[in-house]
Each structure stands twice: as structure tokens, then as C-alpha cells.
Structure 1
Amino acid sequence: MTTTQTLSAERADLLDLLAKHRFFLRHTLRGLTDEQAASRPTVSELCLGGLVKHVALTEKNWVSFVVDGPAATAPDEDSYTEHANSFRMLPGETVESILAEYDRTAARTDELVRTLPDLDASQPLPEAPWFEPGARWTARRVFLHIATETAQHSGHADILREAIDGAKSMG
């Protein structure tokens, strides 16, 4: 016997929003070699493979925040190095491996969107100069933030892709 889980309209909308922006980001890597994905075709330090890695890491960290609170995302020396390395493709990394990790991260996020008992559940934001002291974010706000970050970086990726070979994500 199988059971069908009916999602609320809000959860279905969140999943749809995340899927659409992830598609556009992933789409910028279509048909590229590992070397092209690692290249920096603009004056920026950014590369396409690195942008996808960065978005996956950021999404993973925000999901950990939803589940485990601010302690899960407390910065330490390793997290600064991981953050810096998330913007580049390191030796041995491939487009395929980066996209596979992104897919695993996305699947975990999507499962949480579907199953979290309450999207209003909130956690205090970690202490950081870019957060208002004492602020809290709900799970809903975190999922919207993940979609926003993905959309923003998809725009960056589109520029990089066009600089590599003229291909556009849209149009």
C-alpha cells in the first residue's frame, strides 16, 4: 500500500520556486568541460563550478540552521576556508561531482520543506555583524532566502557562461 502526501499550497510553491532557480543555475553548466567550468572568464574570481559549489554549501548550511540552530553554522577557521574554497573548483573536482553534491543538498532541503512540522518554527540568527542582534528567522524565511541566493547567483552564472562561449540561460 502506498500513501500520498498532500502538500499545502505554500509548500508546493516553495518547492517550485527552489526547483526553478536551481534549474537556471544548473543550466549554466550544460555542455561545459571541467576546464571551462573552472575558468574565470571575467575580472571576477568567480567560476561557474565554484558558484554552484557555493550555492550548495550555503543551502546546506542554512538547512543545518533550520534543523540544529545557530550552533550548526557558527563560524570557525575551517568554515572560513571552506567558504573561500566554495567559489572555486579544486583539483579533482568535476562538473559531474559538483552537480551530484548540489543534487544531494537540494534533495535534503526539499525533504525538509515537505516534512518540517511547522514553517513558522524559528531559530535565533548567529551573532554576526550582518545580522540584527537578537533576530530570529523562521524556516519559511530560510527557504525563501535559499531561493533568493540561488536566483542571485544564477544571474552571476549567466554572465560567466555568456563570457565563456556566448551561451545564454534564457533567450
Structure 2
Amino acid sequence: MTSEQERAALLLALGSARRHVLDQAAGMDEAQLRAVVAPSGWSTLGLLRHLTLSDERYWFEVVVAGGPLDFWPEGPNGDWVVADDEDPDAVLTAYRHAIATSDRILAGVDLDAPPRRPEPGWADSGAFPTVRSVVLHVIVETSTHAGQLDLVREVLDGHQHLVL
């Protein structure tokens, strides 16, 4: 497999997981998007906020591209918090915007390059030595959360997402 084939395969997997999340959310009304199903207390909107901030923005804008972490919300689990009066469409739009920004960043970076802003201690532990390792991490994270949304949808309205 060439490096371009590998890049295409990784980005295809990432895009598939993102679409899965967006497809599941698109089928929900506002009450369902705000419903808390899991004992840990998160809603689908909270999960979308988490994917926006913790996965797309943190890993690609900050870690890969070296940008500032000036968007991080205050408070415990602030990346999962969505205010009761916050427009669900704005949360979805922010996720789509973060995806587009991530895609632009990934288009211009070598998968073998080291992240521009690694966390302290990563070098000693061997964690996330390349952009490739970051992309793989975000694929796993997004896919895991897509699976969680499958269960949420089935509990809320019986919808089952077929994954081939």
C-alpha cells in the first residue's frame, strides 16, 4: 500500500465514523437530542459537543497543527455540557465546522510527522509519536461514540443502524 492509499483509507474510515454520528443525530428531534439515556448522564448533544471539542478540535487543531487550546470550556466535563437554551442546530453546525477544519489540517500534513503540540510526557511514554497515530486514535474515539449513539437511538425510538 502506498502512503497515499494509506492516507485515503484512514480518511475514509474517519469520514465514515463521522457520517455515522451525524446520521444518527439527524434522525432525532430536539427532545431526543437532549435526552439522557446513559447512567453517566450525557445526552446526544453533549456527545456531539465532546466530539467537537475533545476529538476534532483538540486532536487536530491543537495537537496536530499546534494551535491554542483557547476554546476549552471551564468546569468538570465541560466538553460535554450543552446549555438548555442552546440551539441544537448550532451544536451540529459546530461539529461540522470542526470536521471541515480538521480535514483541511490533515490535507496538508505528513502522516509520519510528529504532532506539533504533544502533551508533556508523550515522548517518554511513546504515545502519539506521529500524526498517523493521532488519526487512528480519533477514528477509534469517533467510532466508539458512533456505537454509543446506535444504542441511544435504539433505546429512544427503536431505530437500528445497519453497519456493513
Displacement of 1:169 in angstroms is 2.1
- Give the number of aligned pairs: 157
**Counterpart residue number, 2:144:** 152
Partner SS, residue 129 of structure 2 = strand
The answer on 1:61 being equivalent to 2:58 is yes
State which drifts further: 52-61 or 132-141.
Answer: 132-141
* Residues 17-166 of structure 1 mapped to structure 2, 5 A cutoff: 17-58=13-54, 59-63=56-60, 64-68=62-66, 72=68, 79=72, 81=74, 84-116=77-109, 118-123=110-115, 125-127=118-120, 133-135=124-126, 136-166=128-158
Runs (4+) of structure 1 exceeding 4 A deviation are: none
Q: In the aligned structure 2, how far is the partner of 1:8 from the partner of 1:146? A: 19
TM-score w.r.t. the length of structure 1 is: 0.78
Query: Superposition RMSD on alpha carbons, in Å?
Result: 2.6
- Does structure 1 retain, via aligned residues, the 8 Å contact 2:73–2:79? no
CA distance in 1, matches of 2:59, 2:79: 15
| 1:50 to 1:162, Cα distance in 2 relative to 1, 3 A | same
Contact residue 29 and residue 95 of structure 1 kept, 8 A: no
1:3 corresponds to: none
Structure 1, unmatched stretches of 5+, are 1-6
TM-score, length of structure 2 as denominator length? 0.81
Structure 2 unpaired stretches of 5+: none
Q: Distance in 1 between matches of 2:142 and 2:11?
A: 13
Partner residue, 1:4? none
